[in-house]
Structure 1
Amino acid sequence: MWKVERKITIKVDDKDILVKIYYDNRLKTSWKKQRLIDSVFLRVPPDTSDEEITKRLNTPFYKEWVKQVEKNKKLISKWDNYLEQLEFKLQNRTEEELREIIEKYVAKYEDEFIRPKISIRSINGVWGRCSKTKDKLTFAPDMKYISEEYIEFIVYHEMIHTYCLNHNPPFYRKMAERYPNWKEMESNLRMWEYLLEKNDIITITEK
């Protein structure tokens, strides 16, 4: 995950677009971009100027990409109201505390599946990932901010993948055994992502 260091507003086709910036010392010339719900997130080299950012986002390649941000603005109030109804609050945990919770639920379900190895590291745009060949589940560190109820849901989802790698009918049948409301839970995970974004904590999605 990345913590936003700076925010600027730029004009793209006479529309104001919020840009959240992280100056990444590991980047020399390349840029990493991500479209958020209400803004654009950029990881850029430390010496990148605001003028360069404005110029880049006004190129045809980026213009099409940021149009969705403008569309999303119409939905923000709806999402904010739904978030208020859900009463989600960011949790204050360490990664070690997250690992303990994950291990607890892996142990809870290991009799149904198998007991895989556990890894916590930044992964590409998902909460969890199963490597069946390595017998390993990888979880995003961002999970430390979400409620334990949803941590358990993510763990169960990935545990199913230890025997059913794809999202196919057998996978969803197994998911429905434990979570008849799994569609609602999946949808609410997007609200957790939105809450993180509102607090300038950006999950990693390389694009």
Structure 2
Amino acid sequence: MPPVLSTPPLAIEDWPLPYEERLAARPSSAIDLVVIHCTELPDMAMAREFGERIHYAGTQTGNSGHYYIDLAGKVYRFVADTRVANHTYGYNPRSIGIELVNIGRYPDWGDSRHQAFTVPYTAEQIASLRTLLAQLRNDHANLRWIAGHEDLDRRLEPAKDDPSVLLRRRQDPGPLFPWNEIVPSSGLERLNATPTVP
């Protein structure tokens, strides 16, 4: 049975993507995983613009998380929980994606000389994330797992500056994300897997 929330519900601003209704529907019972992401973009405006881009001609949809948490801790919902958002290769039908605004490696994601994450997540973001996770556990009875994008998508690609160097395609939420603070209080178990696991 899901936990009962002991804190007031989190204020979430609904900001649905223009193509949200074209994303596949799913029941709450299908959701057992939360995936944590870093936008690797400087601000919410750029994250929104990226989320609105069409990447899949057949469905006229794009790539985005369900929730976005800005630097001040404000939470936006781009995609309803009961829609399948495209955020983690191989895991979308079962998961909810949460994106934290953070510059990450921007704008040099593919450059082998610029792979360090240097900006910590804000205390406000982490506080909102903890409340959001509690709320999601309350809303979805089968929610059991939590993972980073980097845990689940381990594909490699050649570096743009030196194709002989292979880089991880996804390295978010990155080394500055406080897993030791988040996992114990979330009531979720950390899932570490390869993309081939269903």
Specify the TM-score bucket, using the shorter chain as the normaliser.
Answer: under 0.3
Q: Which has the higher helix share?
A: 1
TM-score normalised by the chain length of structure 1: 0.27
TM-score normalised by the chain length of structure 2: 0.28
Identify which of structures 1 and 2 has the higher relative contact order when contacts are C-alpha pairs closer than 8 Å and 6+ apart.
2
Which is greater in Rg?
1
